[in-house]
Amino acid sequence: MSEQTNKTTAMNLGGEIRWGGMKTTTYFVVLGIVLAATYTKGLPGGWLGGYTLATTLGILFEKIGDNTPIVKDYFGGGAIVTLFASAALTYFNVLPKPAMDLMKEFMGRMDFFGVLAAALVSGSIISMDRKLLIKAGLLYAVPVFGGLIFAFGLAALVGSIIGFGGIKSVMMVALPIMGGGTAAGAIPLAQIYGSALQNDPKLYLSMVMPAVALGNALAIVSGGFLDKIGTAKPTWTGNGELMVGFQAEKSKASSPDYTKMGVGFLLTGIFFAVSIMLSKFIPMHYYAITIVLVAVLKIANVFSDEHCEAVKQWFEFLVKTCIPAILFTIGLVVVDLKMVIAAMTWQYWALCIVTVVGAIIGAGLFGRLVGFYPIESSITAGLCMANMGGSGDIATLAAAKRMALLPFATISSRLGGALILVLASLMVRMLGVG
């Protein structure tokens, strides 16, 4: 799965261009029907309508991105275009309100992202070699700290040079970018600032959110760049493998089995159910608990080959069919172009850029020291600290064509994000926010 980024939307089978597995004529008939239904209030409600709209337009934008010169080679291709084209639909109010309400429900109450995340987190871990889990898990904190050191250091240095202030640059730009997103990052970070400095947390939230949004965009674009660097420098990348010299055991390929997929669907739900229950007693996000839970069970050889295969098949099915839909939905509902545009001063851009670059360099260098490939280390321990949590992880890995690294990306977002909040609590009392 290291090279899998849902290229089914642009595959050439027998010389014939395919759109999400459909012939060109079939796809454009489908597109016309979906657009007509969207603007005449004819879309069905619930999952059926949300998935239909997200998949149809997601395929279109991904196809455009994967065939646009420069964009496809250096800016993440279809993943980037899907995210920002859908965000533009929201910014310019292109879709009618009923369709927007449907998509917000699809992402929120109907939790399309949760279904996909459950499969990705559980499936990607179960698909991993257990020896890799044991070996890499103990060393992973090293590149995470390396990324933080370089991100904070460069932000402070550049902030001092351009007159923004070193401390202010770290507290208001670098920490929010590296903080794990919005719900588990920017919001509690603003509350920490507000409590420590006796001000309204909303004041600080308005200050840090542009950095979070811009950092997320830069992380996604950087994922595409790192993929290209890996192509130019093959010794720097394991093409989805994290550790240098580690040869994962290849499992025997098996034909898709719909019964197994159903079992896999059920098991991913059980993993999340147990994790949610444990989160009531353990002060960790249930995504992080799921990672730990499934990893421990995998290392302990609790899962039978049949169960591993079931979860793996469900995981692979969703990756192959749902990535355009989730990227479209994330862009439409989560990516806020207004915030990105509002932050477009050259000083702010400079600080956000050096923070993300610092995360890339630090994670890559420190990862190399402990036997990780620099590209994979930079993507997981660097960029996945700098993006907007779970949705940002998927978008960044899709742009980097390394979706199989999701377990390590999630560790960065969830556990790394929690580390940032601890650091913020200590730093704001010692330094203030500038």
Give residue-wise pLDDT tens across range 294-333.
888 988 888 888 998 999 899 888 878 888 898 898 889 8
Please state the φ and ψ torsions of residue 22, each to the nearest 5 degrees. -100, 150
Q: Is residue 301 part of a domain?
A: yes
Please state the φ and ψ torsions of residue 141, each to the nearest 5 degrees. -65, -25
Tens digit of each residue's pLDDT (9 = 90 or more) over 25-49: 999 999 999 999 999 999 998 899 9
Is 372 strand, coil or helix?
strand
Q: Is residue 36 part of a domain?
A: no
pTM listed for this prediction: 0.71
Show Cβ contacts of residue 261 under 8 Å, excluding neighbours closer than 6 positions: 310, 313, 314, 317
Tens digit of each residue's pLDDT (9 = 90 or more) over 128-153: 777 777 777 778 889 999 999 999 99
Which pLDDT band, with edges at 50, 70 and 90, does 160 fall under?
very high
Q: Is residue 44 part of a domain?
A: no
Q: Is residue 218 part of a domain?
A: yes
| Residue that wins the pLDDT comparison between 28 and 414 | 28
* CB 186 within 8 Å of CB 205: yes
Buried b (16+ CB within 10 A) or exposed e, 176-203: bbbbbbbebbbbbbbebbbebeeeebee
pLDDT > 70: what percent of the chain? 88
Residue 12 clears pLDDT 60, i.e. is over it: no
Residue 3 clears pLDDT 60, i.e. is over it: no
Mean pLDDT of all residues in 349-361: 95
Q: Is residue 11 part of a domain?
A: no
Q: Is residue 75 part of a domain?
A: no
State how many domains the chain has: 1
Q: Is residue 96 part of a domain?
A: no
Mean pLDDT of all residues in 214-237: 91
Q: Is residue 121 part of a domain?
A: yes
Show Cβ contacts of residue 191 under 8 Å, excluding neighbours closer than 6 positions: 201
The residue range of the domain holding 132 is 111-431
